[in-house]
Amino acid sequence: MQLFRNIVEALLLLIALLIGGLFCAYAWPEYKYGLSNWMQAIGSIGAIAAAIWLATQEARRQRRERIDLAVVCASSIRIKLTRVSLALDKVSAFISNDMTEGFGPDYTQCARLLRDAGEISNEEILPIVCLPDRVAARLASARDHIAHCISTLDGANESSKIFDSLSQHNFHINMALHLDAANTHIESVLTKFSEILK
């Protein structure tokens, strides 16, 4: 389909140059004076237009290839993001339930749930940078929120024994904010991926 479009564009450009040349050859008021100069000028303009068209054609082809790669990567990442989203929901529910019941959760288990869901690497994010609506930036932000939660949960398990009820409550609120931010970013990325992969 794209090859056919390229051929049609080239033929239309050639036809336009041919019509312009025939117009100059037959309808020019001063046939003997300056016709060759005008034909040379039209040919030069045509050569410049053809060079610009070829350069932009290559750029469009490379952009299409980057978008195709991004769509393939988005399809792969979407599966992992679904697992991450489920893990975020479980950990959020676990922490919010413990906030209401007033006892400390097993933070190591929460961190393990998030870690086992799978980490999104820079190598996975980089190919989707060309996708619209800052999808890659949102995904990187979600990854950073999750990494913060994992490291904080790992560190909190030891110090949870010395938490008083107020500091534990503040800790849970802080964790809930990071988990909600990560989940919001992941949901927006999943929505965009669904639109792209239709």
Of 157, 185, 182, the residue nearest 171 (C-alpha): 157
> For 44-100, how does the pLDDT look when each residue is reduced to its tens digit (9 = 90+)?
888 888 888 888 888 888 888 998 999 898 888 998 999 999 999 999 888 877 655
Q: Is the pLDDT of residue 32 over 70?
A: no
The pLDDT, as a whole number, for residue 102 is 47
pTM beyond cutoff 0.85: no
User: For the residues of 104-164, what is the DSSP string, one character each?
Assistant: ---HHHHHHHHHHH-PPPHHHHGGGGGSSTTHHHHHHHHHHHHHHHHHHHHHHHHHGGG--
State the average pLDDT over residues 107-130.
89
- Residue 179 vs residue 102, higher pLDDT: 179
The pLDDT, as a whole number, for residue 24 is 66
